[in-house]
Amino acid sequence: MQCSLVLFFHFGTSDNEHLIPGSIGGEVDQWTANPRDFSTEMDCLTVCGWETPYEKFVSPASGECQVSRNYSQALDCLVIGRTAQDHDSAWGGFNFAGKLKRDGTIVMKRESKDSTDAGLGVWIFEGNVRYGSVFAGTWRSSNSPGSGIHGIFSLGKKVHPSQSEH
């Protein structure tokens, strides 16, 4: 599977706490927001049309100008993504939305981009980043909890040629 995942951090202040939608409160598998409800246009994270106070993570290696942040001070971190267009054409497209927990565990929902594929259901991926570049863990279907539809997965980070020169 080829997908692109982006991190968004919330640093929290008393004046923007009310901007976090209740639809993404608590555990990921209890969210009422689905991955297709998230938009990351113009590096601004919106959920169900609501602009959130989350800030897009920009790696210092990218060369993009950004105010330096201490990400360990963030109150929350969301992981948002989608499959690449080549993947969409061959196997169907998917959207992802989830959370990075304080213990390093990542929990994400995956759903089809095409509403006619809704029968595929929402899958929950849970795991950790290993060796700095591999996200590995288990997945399960949320359509039939306890049915035994589950498995293991791993996603590796693709290094672009421009990044390997640094």
- Look at residue 136 in the predicted model and tell me its pLDDT: 95
- Look at residue 70 in the predicted model and tell me its pLDDT: 84
CA distance 37 to 23: 10
- Look at residue 139 in the predicted model and tell me its pLDDT: 93
pLDDT in tens, 43-100: 889 998 888 889 998 876 666 655 667 888 888 899 999 988 887 878 788 999 999 9
pLDDT in tens, 115-152: 776 666 788 999 999 888 899 999 998 766 566 688 99
Please check whether residue 63 lies inside any domain of the structure: no
Nearest 5°: phi and psi at 56?
-70, 135
Neighbours of 66 (CB within 10 A): 12
Is there a contact between 15 and 53 (Cβ–Cβ < 8 Å)? no
Is there a contact between 107 and 86 (Cβ–Cβ < 8 Å)? no
pLDDT of 11 over the 90 cut: no
Please check whether residue 158 lies inside any domain of the structure: yes
Please check whether residue 66 lies inside any domain of the structure: no
Which pLDDT band holds residue 1 (cuts at 50, 70, 90)?
low
Please check whether residue 155 lies inside any domain of the structure: yes
- Look at residue 166 in the predicted model and tell me its pLDDT: 43
Segment among 11-20, 80-89, 153-162 with least mean pLDDT: 11-20
pTM: 0.82
CA distance 29 to 119: 18
Is there a contact between 99 and 28 (Cβ–Cβ < 8 Å)? yes
- Give the residue numbers spanning the domain of 159: 3-58+71-164
Domain total of the chain: 1
Please check whether residue 64 lies inside any domain of the structure: no
The token pair that represents 131 in the structure block = 């060796």
Please check whether residue 14 lies inside any domain of the structure: yes
